[in-house]
Structure 1
């Protein structure tokens, strides 16, 4: 038991009578803009996560390089002594 096409048309007719076509068009435009904005913000957020991962990797590389430099300096100090 579902909703028939005639019941949907009756509900649509009542909604058009209550709000008018101009207001319904504005509501549809606003809703579409909100959905587009949401999708855009979701797409923009994904590259930021990738950038964050790259930053973490570059920090890890920098720390490893710094640690390697420290070991090299200690080894040089030992050979000088």
Structure 2
């Protein structure tokens, strides 16, 4: 979810994703990105530079999750308000 959240706003480098999701290990982030790439949700672009530059972005299928994520965000905000009102 956090990877999708970050990539929904545009292309990111590995380091940017790692910094944004500071609670994830480098190994786990790499594993999740590879799985999402295999599932066709994330596209990995490698640039032939020194040092090598790798960027990640959502595919069309990945972007199709945006309405779902927005709905979950709306629900979460409403639920939080409900819980806070009952305190």
Q: TM-score, normalised by structure 2?
A: 0.32
Q: Which one has the bigger helix percentage?
A: 1
Structure having greater relative contact order (Cα 8 Å, sep ≥ 6): 2
Q: TM-score, normalised by structure 1?
A: 0.34
The structure having more radius of gyration, on CA atoms, is: 1
